Structure 1
Amino acid sequence: MSGRRKVGNLLALAVLSALVQRPMHPYEIATTLRGWGKDHDMGIKWGSFYTVVRNLERHGLIAAVESVRAGRRPERTVYRITDAGRAELVDWTRELVSTPVAEQSRFRAGLSVLAVLHPEEATALLRRRLALLEEEVGAERAALAEHLRTLPRLFLVESEYDMAIREAEVAWVRALLAELGSGSYPGLAEWRAFHETGVLPAEPDGPGERSGSAP
């Protein structure tokens, strides 16, 4: 689990994935990761890059092999991945692929307080979101098809995942909008009445209460 990782920042995983290709100096590692789009895949914060590299070396996951100088540029240390680093890279990847972890979503946060909006406004905003999602999915589908012309599918599997998640969200938002539009959404009348009269709907109690609600 990530709690036992000697260096738990996902940027460390990215650095190890670069060095497994060949030894590199930090600037080359960063350039490679940007070229691969790893800053998008892992939400990399570049301000901690050199700290992560130092921590990887301190824990024996990478090792300095030489220092090089090009022209008047400062001397750069070239690093290689160690056997311990390779083992960490493989084990970490196994964990990430096999073990689901709850991840925070801004959309979920908004949905959790959707009741503060009038149903008509919520519907209009969801329609706006749906239009943007459909546009994004179309662009992602075209980009993926283009990339598949030159790259093996294995190196685009994360893009397939992103598109699948977006398509699932599109389907869910469409279904929610259909319920709101037809008036079949449970509690819609009470939701509307709350905004029009200020009267709060009755709160559930007993076994039917949502788990995790305040006592």
Structure 2
Amino acid sequence: MGDPIAVTIGAFCVVFLALVVVAAVFGSRRRRREQDRMRQWAARKGWTFTAHPHVDWGRQLPGGNRNGIDYAFSTVLRGRPVTVAQYSVTEASDGTTTNTHYPIVTVAVLKRSFPSVEVTARARASRLKSALFGGGETATGNPDFDRNFRVRTTAPAAMRHWLSPSLIAAQLGGQVPSTWNMQGTELFYHRPGRLELDEIADHAIALTPLADLLDGGT
């Protein structure tokens, strides 16, 4: 009885391993085709495509960027280096399952260096909590801005060097992203969802007005 069972188990293992190899081969071919499509798009549009780039700013990404950058598209827009990239973050939703998210990040290079700054739009509950208890954030002195946005920074005293009246007006008017952060000479804008080729330029264009305002200062 033992031999037929052993043979059956052995055959099952061989078939299983063969299926794993086939799936890996097809997956690899699919990824190559997808990367070829991205590379061809970038060449036509004047962008540079890089698969799995090694970047210093990866540590700044939400979720810790544990899986690395999947791919990135870079160009110079109005004299400013800009990169639009997709990365993945795998999180445990409970004790047995995991969820993988694929956020999009746009990175613009600034002309001067800044301290660490994070600006986020407030939800209604956040506005009430901040009014009652504070929350480790820095008030700007503009009631409308402080009511609608939260600022966290390592250098509150330097806020006047980047939070200009023009930037406040653009932030309140919705002309720039509602949530963003910067450190050194890098400005970041994150969005959920997978990156589509026909949306890459829009991501870059959405960030450049904010970068221009930050470079302009007060």
- State the TM-score bracket (shorter-chain normalisation): under 0.3
TM-score by length of 1: 0.21
More strand by share: 2
More helix by share: 1
Relative CO higher for 1 or 2, CA cutoff 8 Å, sep ≥ 6? Answer: 2
TM-score by length of 2: 0.20
